[in-house]
Amino acid sequence: VVVVNPNNPTGTAVSREDLLKIVKKAKNNNIAVLHDEAYFEFSGITAKDLIDDFDNLLITRTLSKQFGIASLRAGYVLSQEENIKELLKIRGPYDVNMFAKTAILIALDDVDYARNYIKEVMEKSKPKLEEFFRENNVKFWKSSANFLLIKPNDQKRALEVLESEGILVRPKEGPDNESLIRVSIGTLKDTERFIKAYSKLLNI
């Protein structure tokens, strides 16, 4: 069972109560649970404290989000020792390349930079963007991560206008075939730039 928490692309979170129910029921049925915590540093959501009690729980995290090293495929797994030993048996000899290792070591030398970036995104940029969408009646889903899923009036035009301003977002399709857009949130300066570009769609 794979639980992506918070979910991508909606940003919605699985409650602690529901997560515990899933892990317990899975354990009773001899089923493993992989809890994907790719956005842990932004959401604060984790099941790490459950590892000692549940040998069927594995947690995956990535270094790409907080340190901005996407595409290097660098991450790690948290679980009970026996599970890690089993994973090491099937681990490839070259699963992390030298470029990724070098980037990780450099990033870890300045953890404060990443922490300050996360704080700016979650405490300044995200609230500002949410306020902009609310004030202009742009539908968006409540998110626990550093991105928002929104519903533009015209997805195609929104993509074109944003791209013309040098802003790339991800087009998504909702459960009812809604044409949506997922917006990753960056620095306050990045957010102000996005708001200025999106305002053109709203004729502000």
Walk me through the domains of the chain, giving residue ranges and CATH numbers: 2-108 (3.40.640.10), 111-201 (3.90.1150.10)
Q: What is the pLDDT of residue 182?
A: 97
Both tokens of 176, joined, read: 């009812």
- What six digits make up the tokens of 185? 């949130």
Nearest Cα neighbor of 136 from 73, 61, 198, 94 is 198
Question: For 174, which DSSP code?
Answer: -
Please tell me whether residue 185 adopts helix, strand or coil conformation.
coil
Run of H or E residues at 30? none
**Nearest by Cα to 9 from 153, 183, 158:** 183
Per-residue pLDDT, 19: 97
pTM of the model as a whole: 0.89
204 within 8 A of 138, measured Cβ to Cβ: no
Give the neighbor-by-neighbor strand order of the sheet with 57-62. Answer: 2-4, 33-36, 57-62, 75-78
Residues 6+ apart with CB under 8 A from 141: 10, 11, 12, 148, 149, 150
Strand partners, 76: 61
Q: How far apart are CA 50 and CA 23, in angstroms?
A: 9
| pLDDT at res. 198 | 97
- Predicted confidence pLDDT, tens digits, the chain (204 residues): 999 999 999 999 999 999 999 999 999 999 999 999 999 999 999 999 999 999 999 999 998 888 888 788 888 999 999 999 999 999 888 788 888 889 889 989 989 999 999 999 999 999 999 999 999 999 999 999 999 999 999 999 999 999 999 999 999 998 777 899 999 999 999 999 999 999 999 987
Q: What are phi and psi of 145, to 5 degrees?
A: -115, -170
User: What pLDDT does residue 92 have?
Assistant: 82
Other Cβ atoms within 10 Å of 173 Cβ, number: 11
